[in-house]
Structure 1
């Protein structure tokens, strides 16, 4: 499932890229040891606008990990919406990484047989789900609602004109799902309770941040994979 763990998965190539970008901009030399061993130093360097500008321009896109790329671009657009929490950016970066695989987009967990394309089907499945499955499905509904309404803004608008749910539906169902997931003991065991609470509180602003991101990194008219 989606965990706030992008920063825990950065590679040596990621740190080398960051150091090279900052060195060109006149930032003091940052050693690999500092970036690897000092989380505060690492986070400060990743917030430097030179890093996000380089990634948004396409530089380094093929040499850095998905975790670095999605963390930095998510962090950048979230801050423009007034969302400063790095843990939240880490989670949304992980969400974008995970949902870049079509199979992960439609499945709450690798070990569950469920494959969903409709939020209504996810809600219906809660009636027969176990306690653990209910937690996974609720978390997935929140993630799915945020991803679709955030990264596929134009698609939602086109479908809305034909009577499909509008953005208020995604925001309401996303907030509710994250709040319910946050109350589950499994969320506390996975250190996700606080992240889910925050996502419930700032869902609309997070969605708007992803709308901006979609405009910057791909064709905004793109439809989600296997959309029904």
Structure 2
């Protein structure tokens, strides 16, 4: 499942990229600082030079997906006035995990469920165990946020034909995250606070992803719904 762990998975190449990006702007930062001081690392990752370096590259960037998505999510959230780094870590992990179609449609690697529509997930809750219901609830929230955030034009086109609008995704997303936040597994996984934030600020998180999608994504793209 999605965990707020992008920063825990950065590679040596990631640190080298950050140090190089900042040195080009006249900032003095060493690899030792980035590797040994988490506070320094977080501060350096917030520098606009890092995001610009990621976005200015053509083709494949020689960094991990975790660094790429964390920095972009953090930058987009800050523009919405959201400063919590753990939330940015979670949303970066969400983008990274859902970049794989299998993960987009599955609440957990060990569950047999393959969902393509939110209504299927809601129906599955009726026969789910408590643990399965938690995983499905979280997946509904993540799925609603990802679709409404990264595929805005697709939702708007479908809305004109009578499909659910953004208010549907926001309501089901908020409700799912709020319910998940009170589950004991959320506390054990140290995700309760993040779920609470997403329940209360779902719209702002969606708007952050809308901006991010417009910046790095094909705005007319459709979700990968192929079975």
TM-score, normalization: structure 1? Answer: 0.97
Aligned 8 A contact 1:61 1:69 in 2: no
Q: What are the equivalent positions in structure 2 for 1:57-136 lying under 5 Å apart?
A: 57-58=56-57, 61-136=60-135
Aligned 8 A contact 1:17 1:60 in 2: no
The equivalent residue for 1:3 is: 3
The answer on 1:211 being equivalent to 2:210 is yes
Please identify runs of 4+ aligned residues in structure 1 that moved more than 4 A. none
CA distance in 2, matches of 1:57, 1:158: 30
Q: Give ranges in structure 1 of 5+ residues lacking alignment.
A: none
Aligned 8 A contact 1:54 1:60 in 2: no
The equivalent residue for 1:21 is: 21
CA distance in 1, matches of 2:211, 2:102: 25
TM-score, normalization: structure 2? Answer: 0.98
Root-mean-square deviation (CA, aligned residues, Å) is 1.2
Aligned 8 A contact 1:81 1:205 in 2: yes
The equivalent residue for 1:166 is: 165
Deviations 1:173-221 (A, max 9, x none): 0000000000000000000000000011110000000000000102100
Q: Would you say how many aligned residue pairs link Structure 1 and Structure 2?
A: 227
1:58 CA drift (Å): 2.6
Q: Give ranges in structure 2 of 5+ residues lacking alignment.
A: none
Pick closer, same or farther for the CA change 1:185–1:176 going to 2, 3 Å. Answer: same
